[in-house]
Structures are given as structure tokens and as C-alpha cells.
Amino acid sequence: MQPQKENNMNPERRAYLELHIAVLLFGVTAILGDLISLSALVLVWWRVLLTSISLLALVRVGRLLRALPPAATLRFLGIGVIVALHWLAFYGAIKLANASIALVCMALTSFFTSLLEPLLVRTKIKRLQIVMGLLMAPGMAMIVNATELSMHNGIWAGIAAAFLAALFSTLNKKYIGQANPVEITFLELGAAWLFLSLVLPVYALLTPEGLGRFLPSLADWGYLALLAFLCTTLAYVLALRALRHLSAFVSNLTINLEPVYGIVLAWLLLGDHKQLSPVFYFGVAIILAVVFLYPLAEGYSGRKVKEGRLKREG
């Protein structure tokens, strides 16, 4: 009798593939945000609503609320408000500028994380991370100088989105052990939806332009479904499964591909390059080079420190 063929892919290889798919889907969010005709506030409201509904299939809400201490529940609800503000800033950057600008600004998240982690998680400040931020500065300056003045508000919104992403990611890292990651995501997105539901009427009353159109068009429904179910729920589940089998180095290097995937898609599908000059893309190249070289430099620095410690102990 012949042995049965092994049909299952190697767990690490499968995880690597799943993480790449997740990162590609994350990159697509900017494209969909550009295609959806709703305002940033209304778009994010629908996104968190649909995503929260999809997560109901994975979370037992009653058991979660009974098991989680009230202080922890309030903490995750607060982080959810930060998530809502992040998505407002991110999609605001897309509406005020374009998808490419929003995505390249998000590449600054790693730098902001390096500043926030020592403050919030009490880790040591790493000189390499500060150097990384300084090396990004010329690239950011080139991007600002090469962008039309009308898009500068989009750049500031994108930088704010990167800072808020670093803030909620750092807080999640600090408190991740208090609940299941999927349950945490449900609480945070539910809080984001409640917060935006309170903001909607206030914004409509206080701003001259109001909310604009609230109900999605038929095309918008399709894009919102892709955004919520594929680019949020599925992408999150794939990334979560993959991170269990991959090293931090491989994970970070792969996640850094998100702006690359997104910018390439924006070039091909949205024609963003028609609005942007070659100098803009030189600035993008500098920032992405720093982002990709950082894990390599960190790994090299870690090996040197370990070798030095072994020599002293030997």
C-alpha cells in the first residue's frame, strides 16, 4: 500500500503566504477608500459597522463581557476611539490628497512606534530607531516639496494617521494578554462605531458641508463589502494566524510591504502617478528603503551585542 501523499503545506510557508495575502489586502484598503464616493466620516462609520457585524460570528459577546474585568473593557473601548480617529485621518488623507500619499505617510508608523514604546511600554530607547527617523526626514521633505499645496492637508492627515496607528498598536501590545485578540478587535471596533455614531450628528450640524451623502450607492456597497469583509476581517484573521508561526523579523519585513503594494496598485488602478512628480517617488524610495533596511540593521546590531556578551562570558 502506497503511503498517502502529504497535502498540507509546511506551516511556516503557509503562514508566510497568508501574511503576504493579508498585507496585500491591507494595501487595497487605500484603493477602495479612493473609489468609495462617501465622505471619510461616513465611510469609516459603515466600515466599522460591517466589520463589527462580521466579527459577531467569531465572538461570544455575553461571555466576553462577563469574563473581562470592567477596567480592561473600558481600556479597550478607549483604544477603539483611537482606532476610529486613525481611520478618519487615513481616509481623510486619501480624500484630501490621494491613496499614494496616505500610504507613504503610513510608512512613518514604525518611527512613531519607536518613540511611543519607551513611554508607554517602558522599553529602552534605541538609537537605531532615532537614526531611522532622521534618515526618513529628507524623503518626507522631498514628498512635501513635490506635492501641490492643495494636497498638503492630506499629508498632515496621513502623518496623524501614522501617529495614531502607532499609538493604538503600542497600547494593544501592552494589554494584548488580557483577552483574545479577536475579542479585543471586536470591542475596539464596536467602540469605534459607537464613537462615530455620536460624532455624526454633531459634525452634520456644525459643518457647512454636512455629511454629504450618507447611504452608499450600489457600487459603494460592493466596495464597502470588500473593505469590511476581505480587507479587514479576513486580512486580520490571516495575519493573526500567520504571526503564530513566523519570527518577528520576517513578520515586520513582510508588513513593511503594505505601502509598496498599495502604491503600485494606486499607480496601476487610480493613475496617481499623473498627479505626482518623479521627485515624489524619490522621496518615497528613501522612506521605504529606510523602513526595509531597519529590520536588517536591527538584526545585525542584535547579533553583534550577543556575540560581545558571549565573548565577555567566555
Nearest to 30 by CA among 277, 259, 212: 259
Q: Is 296 within a domain?
A: yes
Grid-cell match 513635490, residue found: 146
Report the SS3 class of residue 310: helix
Task: In whole angstroms, give the CA distance from residue 140 to residue 272.
Answer: 18
Instruction: Please report whether residue 4 resides in a domain.
Output: no
In a domain, 37, yes or no: yes
Give the highest mean pLDDT range of 64-73, 247-256, 296-305. Answer: 64-73
pLDDT category of residue 77 using cuts at 50, 70 and 90: very high
Lowest-confidence segment of 15-19, 115-119, 239-243, 258-262 by average pLDDT: 239-243
Q: Judge whether residue 4 has pLDDT over 60.
A: no
Residue 139 within any structural domain of the chain: yes
Is residue 119, in this structure, part of any structural domain at all?
A: yes
Q: Where are the beta strands (DSSP E) in the chain?
A: none
Which pLDDT belongs to residue 312? 62
Residues 198, 201, 203: CA angle, nearest 5 degrees: 100
Cα gap 152→137, rounded to integer Å: 16
Query: What is the number of residues in the chain?
Result: 314
- Could you tell me the pTM of the whole model? 0.83
Give dist(CA 260, CA 267) in Å, integer: 11
Spatial CA neighbour of 238 closest among 56, 59, 18, 54 = 18
Q: Evaluate whether residue 6 is within a structural domain.
A: no
Q: How far is CA 69 from the centre of its chain?
A: 27
Residue 299: give the domain boundaries: 27-313
Asked if residue 60 belongs to a domain, the reply is yes
Number of domains in the chain: 1
- Asked whether residue 194 is domain-assigned, the answer is yes
Kindly report, residue by residue over 181-232, the tens digit of the pLDDT.
778 888 888 999 999 999 999 988 887 777 788 999 999 999 999 999 999 8
Buried b (16+ CB within 10 A) or exposed e, 51-67: bbebbeeebeeeebeee
In this model, does residue 27 exceed pLDDT 70? yes
